[in-house]
Structure 1
Amino acid sequence: MANLPDLFRDVVANRPEATALVSGSHRYTYHSLFAAVETVADRLRQHGVTRAGLSDDNTAAWVIADLACLEAGVVCVPVPTFFSSQQREHLIRQAGLQALLWSEETAGLESLGHGVGITRLSDTTDPVDFPENTAKITFTSGSTGTPKGVCLSQAHLSATVLALKQRLEASCGQYHLCILPLATLLENVAGLYLPLLMGSVVRVEPLSSLGMAGSSGVDAQRLAAALNRWQPESLILVPELARLFAGLAEHGVIATGGFRFLAVGGGKVAPDLLDRARALRLPLFEGYGLSECGSVVALNTPGDDRPGSAGRPLDHIDVCVDSRRRILIRGNTHLGYLGETASQDEWLDTGDLGSLSVDGFLTVDGRSKNLLITSFGRNISPEWLESELVEALGLYQAVAVGDGDPQPSALIVASPGQSSEQIAAACRELNQRLPDYARLSSLYRLHSPLSASRGHLTTNGRLIRHHIQSDLPHLIANSDLIELTQPGGSTMAFFDRLQAETAQARTHVTSAPVIQAVQQGRMSLEGYTWFLTQAFHHVKHTVPLMMACGGRLPERLEDVRKALVEYIEEEYGHHEWILNDLQACGEDREERRASQPDLSIELMVAYLYHQIDRGNPAAFFGMVQVLEGTSIELATPLARQIQEQLQLPDQAFSYLYSHGELDQDHFEFFSDLMNNITDPADQQAIIDSARVVYRLYGDMLHRIPLTSATAPRQEVSNHAIA
């Protein structure tokens, strides 16, 4: 693959007199820009510099110096202007920098020409070994505040930029304004390299002229004035800036008609914010990335967009989600970290949790290490809940807390004009839209914002959660409590109780040998058709069981009977889908129809008929809890991996593929339905039934015929199986 300088030379040859870079009153054509780059690159070689830090505001000199380092083969280390002096010293020492490159306007610098100055550093630092082919080292501030160096190669950067070009060439416009620091890898790659490779115009201006200050300060009026003056077609935003843009547009402060593509990344984006933006003619599209993957992994685009997701992964990488919901990536990842031995793992563990839809859209829920686990065993991503809070309540800051509590709560910072009564009302409204397990029990309104000086934020504004947690008693003591539950009320919902009280029984399903066998490539055609046959024998009873249940329900559960009518319409005929799948696998459908079920399935069906007829008909919903909940986590990944292993046609997987998607909607509907069941006897009947069905359905999964053990494969499943 061609490196970036070669790719840029092709653009220069095709568009020599087209405008490439604008900064203040300076305008560079592609020819004049890269002539300046070659001059500075030659002088870097003459100075014998092989490792240089790039430290300055967004200026033309920064751009020229960065591109010159690529041209000269100098390892370039951008130095964020918002780093503290201790962080800068750490960066210089760990990277073994020989020089710092600045704008020539800084006094006392030796000039390299074209506005670029150089400061030589003493050679007292210890020798530093980089991974071979390192071209750029990007330092992230990290949750501890100590920067960590990520080593990237020219090939890595080229592949990322080309993949972005392929995805965005038709939609992102021809005029980009950099409003994030160029030392931020996302702006460096997607806001500088990408537009230049596409032959577009890049405008860079000192961040203060855009109203930006430090890592998180912004003067909204100055930013609006800059946007209206320069009218860019594309921008890269973080969620807080996206919220600011929506507010400016709502008040008519900025013109929105000229924007073609606004990318937002760096944090979870609430779907409501995306809806607001689109209504305001702001073409806001969420993406996801990390430094180890060149800053962009997945991206929504016009015409290929799913709000609430991070979009489809770029074509140059493979993305999967394993059985623990961890997002894993391979194909174009970093060379390693400074000061650490490079991992030899084929898959890079991003540290993020999420899911991957059947049609390839990646949803990112948050950091695995940040998970809150309620006392009922439900996992909550704080980043997701915080984004919902900030958007719904118009907050300045929000931190979800409550690990080990029945329900989460949150620390919040609101504007002085918001009363606690207004905040409580807005949060109660939000609670109605949230899943039961994520509904907030209380808010703690802080008197002053969380800050880096008090150890609660990194210098670029990220939460340092373990510091906040250790300081939680003090923070709560110095806050105003906003109760969200009504007097005498409870935040506990029956669906949560059902999940919690059947957790132990559920392990019999999740421990079935078939789950590991699928991951290791040991699923046989015999095993798959045996599973489908058992599925046929219980699915053919689904509608009759629902009809029997509906006929036996008492009048007080009329709403539940109505819901069963909707279920029946959706479920009718699904057993015939399974026979079609068996036929596509080479089986005789009528022979499978006439076969006998495994004893576990026969007992499961008989138990349910018995409970409906002679016990409590609500027991039927214990089966729904088991089969639809298991289907969500089992159906799609099982189908995808078996199809890959056995090379079967799509026609052999209509049941599993369809139910992985169908049952996600069903299960959300089911959870709401369960929360409307308040009679203790009905609730207990459902819990008892779910335990029995987990046992019998798990017995069936344990009996699936498998091939003998082989060496584990390297591939990882695309969805959680259990």
Structure 2
Amino acid sequence: MTGLLTTLRAHAEADPCGIALDPIIAAPVTWKELAERVAKSAEELRRHLVPAHPYVMRLDHGTETAILELALLEAGIPVLSLPAFFTDEQVRHAVSACGAEDETLSGPQPAPSLLPRLTARVTFTSGSTGTPKGVCLSAGHMLTVAASVVDALGSAHAGRHCALLPPGILLETIAGFFATMLAGGTYVCPPQREAGLGDPFRPDFAAMVAHLADWRITSLILVPEYLAGLVAVLERSGQRLPDLTLVAVGGARVPVELLQRARALGLPVRQGYGLTECGSVVSLEGAGESVDGSVGRPLGHMRAAIASDGEIVLEGDMFLGTIGEPRAPGPLATGDIGRIDDQGRIWVEGRKSAMIVTSYGRNIAPEWVEAALMMQPEIAQALIHGDGAPAPEALLVPASADADLAEAVAAANRRLPAYAHVAAWREAAPFTPANGMLTGNGRLRRKAIARTWLEGEPSFFDELEAATWRDRLRFLTIPQVRAGLAGTISRRTYLDYLTQAYHHVRHTVPLMQAARARLLDRPALVTALDEYIEEETGHEEWILADIAAAGGDADKARSCSPSAATQAMVEHAYARIREGNAACFFGMVYVLESVSVALAQRGASAVAANLGLPPEAFTYLTSHGALDQDHMTFFAALVNGLDAPNDREAITAMAREMFALFGAMFAAIAMENQHVAA
């Protein structure tokens, strides 16, 4: 027994009807129910699982996930918790490395590696497709960290803590979930989409703010990007979140100006610092600290010092080691550069390995310059590079369709000394966990980004994503699109969408055939089109079946005329194929398939839940979404093989045009009784 079940039983005895878990979408779980269910589940796990083999968890937040997490800890079964954004290849590496079994993966899985004794959790910090080492943590260590968090905060914050970080992120598990269980608070654990985090393009921060207010949330753990999004919505809307007593921010450096803006809005923000090897939490800013920018004092179980070269060095209760390699005794060199002030507060100034040395011999921590850039509302993400160059350079992701990045860089430069001015920049596609360029808790994966954007020329697919990112952002501002992704459309609106979908999807195969006829001298493209034609044939009939299942008139939908916007989109596609480079068709493929993935992953389930429609009413979206995820991998390989500039220009131009035309189709659909987030 870890002691955590004892704590659950103590809470159950003191407050049997108190709420321990609130999944929002289902009935809450009391402390009495939780203690009983965890004990029963732990016993079943002991009978059916082999302790030497980790249990693979790839679940969304919710009641069953929380109970399973606690039961596995109590049963002594190691957990390999993998974020949902890991690819099959990343999952296969993690699973095989630690000797777990995952029935969701096909093919042979390599022999197990040895886990250190007492391992309760294995976490892979890089998520790369290479061979990162899994960090192994004990139950005692994780609960020690959670208890230290509770001691540092006091019992006043044991209210309603909401899980916003993705499932599988160690920071939320230890400092959010386990700490809430120890403190006797309520762990609010809705599925990600319910909290505004189901959109694969970007979080819906307006919905997030509304939900946090409705659910009376008192504490959160955020990464800087989430904090920036919430601050922007609160500043724009005038809304406030007065129930919050704690907003802990970690995972990456937080610009001082963002902390100040957050506090001006009444957000009780406290910055923290941690490493996976230390259970994700090393220090936390104290309440009422008058100095912005530090990450606080070490928690009670940790000690920090600064090495002669400025590296932060830690001692205390830590990880057991990595798979097959026990931890060497002695202090842990963090790789972070920083200082400790006379009040014992840690200040993190950058990564030792990321330090830039300009050709003028100036040492520059990229995080410092990135923080200045990220304070500009026009910039969503920034990465500084330029080691050995005269001055820093940047990769930038615009935050809006009309963002003036040149002015944003100029504004950031005005805040920096001359030797740190950004001399050049280029736009990049977003850095996300899904593309391997961002960790689950918001850190830039600098090596992965460099491989894609800085070491030679980017692939055409990456360039296409960057070139069309502003068009995608503009598409996502359309109220009908936002409502569809949030699930707040009426049945009438959904039926109208399906009707227009029928009228453009029925042209998919004819458009492919038209493109094929003009590309007969290009066997690779003909073969690709033949595969697409085979898969897409008959999909318009799926849509009519969905209309009938949703209570609409399929025959009327078939016989009616398309809207002017839908007709314009289809006619434009035919004209481009007929009159220009027929390879442009793949620009249309890129837009429709990437958008359908979002609609399938987020919109279909949200609309189904809100309207109470059966699964049979969503066969086109869900089936097409699954197909298009595979198609996008195929598509990337296909277009990356197109080297001719005229092909690339045609595809990019068509993609940009299609985002606008497809958006116009959505905008032409009437909405009724909607509550679309601003």
| Shorter-chain TM-score above 0.5 | yes
SS at match of 2:16: coil
Please state how far the C-alpha of 1:406 moved relative to its aligned partner.
2.4
CA distance in 2, matches of 1:214, 1:57: 14
Task: Give matches, 1:128-527, under 5 Å.
Answer: 128-142=113-127, 146-213=131-198, 217-252=202-237, 254-304=239-289, 306-339=291-324, 341-418=325-402, 420=404, 423-446=405-428, 448-450=429-431, 462-470=443-451, 471-472=453-454, 474=457
Looking at CA atoms only, which structure, 1 or 2, has the larger radius of gyration?
1
Contact between 2:306 and 2:313, CA under 8 Å: does it hold in 1? yes
| Offset, 1:359 | 1.1
Label 1:391 to 1:145 Cα distance change in 2 as closer, same or farther (>3 A).
farther
Report if aligned partners of 2:283, 2:298 keep a CA contact under 8 Å in 1: yes
- The alpha-carbon deviation at position 241 of structure 1 amounts to 0.4
Q: How far 1:41 moved relative to its partner?
A: 0.7
Amino acid at match of 1:438: A
Q: 1:89 aligns with which of 89, 92, 116?
A: 92
AA in 2 matched with 1:48: L
**Alignment pair present for 1:29 and 2:30:** yes
Q: Does structure 2 conserve the Cα–Cα contact (< 8 Å) formed by 1:151 and 1:336?
A: yes
CA contact (8 A) 1:98 1:123 kept: no
Q: Does structure 1 residue 11 correspond to structure 2 residue 5?
A: no
Closer, same or farther in 2 for the Cα pair 1:249/1:454, shift >3 Å?
A: closer
Q: Which residue number in structure 2 is paired with residue 547 of structure 1?
A: none
Write out per-residue CA displacement over residues 68-118 of structure 1, whole angstroms, 9 at most, x where no aligned residue: 011111112212111111111122211212567xxxxxxxxxxxxxxxxxx
Q: CA deviation at 1:220?
A: 2.4
1:609-653 Cα distance to aligned partner (Å, 9 max, x none): xxxxxxxxxxxxxxxxxxxxxxxxxxxxxxxxxxxxxxxxxxxxx
Q: Structure 2: how far apart are the matches of 1:305 and 1:166?
A: 21
> Which SS does the other structure have where 2:9 is aligned?
helix
Task: Give the partner amino acid of 1:431.
Answer: N
After TM superposition, the score normalised by the length of structure 1 is 0.59
TM (normalized to structure 2)?
Answer: 0.63
1:650 — aligned with what?
none
Cα gap change, 1:168 to 1:37, in 2 (>3 Å)? same
Q: Deviations over 1:303-339 (max 9, x none)?
A: 2463111111111111111011111111111000113
Change (3 A) 1:357 1:215: farther
- Rate the CA distance shift 1:461–1:358 in 2: closer, same or farther, 3 A: closer
**Partner-residue secondary structure (3-state), 1:26:** coil
Deviation at 1:262, TM superposition (A): 0.6
Structure-2 change in CA distance of 1:316 and 1:419 (3 Å): closer
Contact 2:272–2:295 (Cα < 8 Å) also in 1: yes
Structure 2: how far apart are the matches of 1:327 and 1:305?
A: 23
Residues 229 and 155 (structure 1), Cα distance of their counterparts in 2 relative to 1, 3 Å cut: same
**Which SS does the other structure have where 2:116 is aligned?**
coil
CA distance in 2 between counterparts of 1:179 and 1:452 reads 15
Alpha-carbon deviation of 1:205?
0.7
Report % sequence identity: 36
What is the total number of aligned residue pairs between the two structures? 458
Instruction: Note the C-alpha offset of 1:234.
Output: 0.6
Structure 2 CA distance, aligned partners of 1:453 and 1:28?
32
Q: Distance in 1 between matches of 2:272 and 2:365?
A: 18
Query: 1:217 Cα deviation (Å)?
Result: 3.1
Distance 2:91 2:248 in 1: 29
Does the 8 A contact of 2:101 with 2:109 survive in 1? no
Instruction: Give the SS at the match of 2:187.
Output: strand
Quick check: 2:85–2:433 contact (8 Å CA) kept in 1? no
CA distance in 2, matches of 1:328, 1:3: 30
Could you tell me which of 70, 74, 79 is aligned with 1:71?
74
Residue of structure 1 equivalent to 2:47: 46
Q: Is the 8 A contact 2:86 2:127 kept in 1?
A: no
Q: Which secondary structure state, in structure 2, belongs to the residue aligned with residue 474 of structure 1?
A: coil
1:147 Cα offset (Å): 4.9
What is the CA deviation profile of residues 225-263 of structure 1, one whole-angstrom value per residue up to 9, with x for unaligned ones?
322321201111111100001011102264321111111
Aligned partners of 2:176, 2:395: CA distance in 1, in Å?
A: 34
- For 1:454 and 1:195, the matched residues in 2 are separated by 32
Q: 2 CA distance for matches of 1:360 and 1:257?
A: 31
Tell me, yes or no, if the aligned pair for 2:373 and 2:379 is still in contact at 8 Å.
yes
Question: Contact 2:96–2:112 (CA<8 Å) still a contact in 1?
Answer: no
Alignment partners' CA distance in 1, 2:409 and 2:415 = 10
Specify the SS of the correspondent of 2:12: helix
Shift of 1:455: 6.6
Asked if the contact 2:223/2:442 (under 8 Å) is kept, the reply is: no
Q: Per the alignment, do residues 216 and 374 of structure 1 end up closer, same or farther by CA in structure 2, a change over 3 Å counting?
A: farther
Give 1:417 deviation, angstroms: 4.7
In 1, Cα distance between equivalents of 2:310 and 2:342: 15
- How much does 1:368 deviate? 1.4
TM-superposed deviation, 1:441: 2.2
Question: What is the RMSD of the two structures over their aligned residues, measured on CA atoms?
Answer: 2.9
CA contact (8 A) 2:278 2:319 kept: yes
Distance 1:378 1:431, change over 3 A: same
Q: 5+ unaligned residues in a row in structure 1: which ranges?
A: 101-118, 481-722
Task: State the secondary structure of the residue aligned to 2:234.
Answer: helix
Unaligned runs of 5+ in 2: 468-678
- In 1, Cα distance between the equivalents of 2:434 and 2:218? 37
Give 1:18 shift: 1.6
Residue in structure 2 matched with residue 545 of structure 1 by the alignment: none
Secondary structure class of the residue paired with 2:124: strand
**Structure 1 letter corresponding to 2:27:** H
1:511-590 equivalences under 5 Å are none
What code does the residue aligned with 1:474 have? E
On the 8 A contact 2:174/2:279 being kept in 1, the answer is yes
Q: Residue 331 of structure 1 aligns to which amino acid in structure 2? A: G
CA distance in 2, matches of 1:216, 1:344: 42
Report the alpha carbon displacement of residue 342 of structure 1 after superposing the two structures with TM: 2.2
1:21 deviates by 0.8
CA contact (8 A) 2:373 2:408 kept: no
1:422-478 alpha-carbon deviations (Å, 9 max, x no partner): x444433432322343222233344x4456787755687654433444543636997
Deviations 1:104-144 (A, max 9, x none): xxxxxxxxxxxxxxx99999752432111111112223566
* Partner secondary structure for residue 184 of structure 2: coil
1:57 aligns with 2:47: no
Sort the Cα spacing of 1:25 and 1:48 in 2 relative to 1 into closer, same or farther, 3 A.
closer
CA contact (8 A) 1:173 1:261 kept: no
Amino acid of the structure 1 residue aligned with 2:153: L
Change over 3 Å in CA distance of 1:144–1:288 after alignment to 2: farther
Deviation at 1:181, TM superposition (A): 2.2
Cα deviation per residue 1:364-401 (whole Å; 9 max; x = unaligned)? 12221111111232222212321220113530221111
Rounded to whole Å, the distance in 2 between the matches of 1:200 and 1:455 is 34
Q: Distance in 2 between matches of 1:138 and 1:453?
A: 17
SS of 1:213's equivalent?
coil
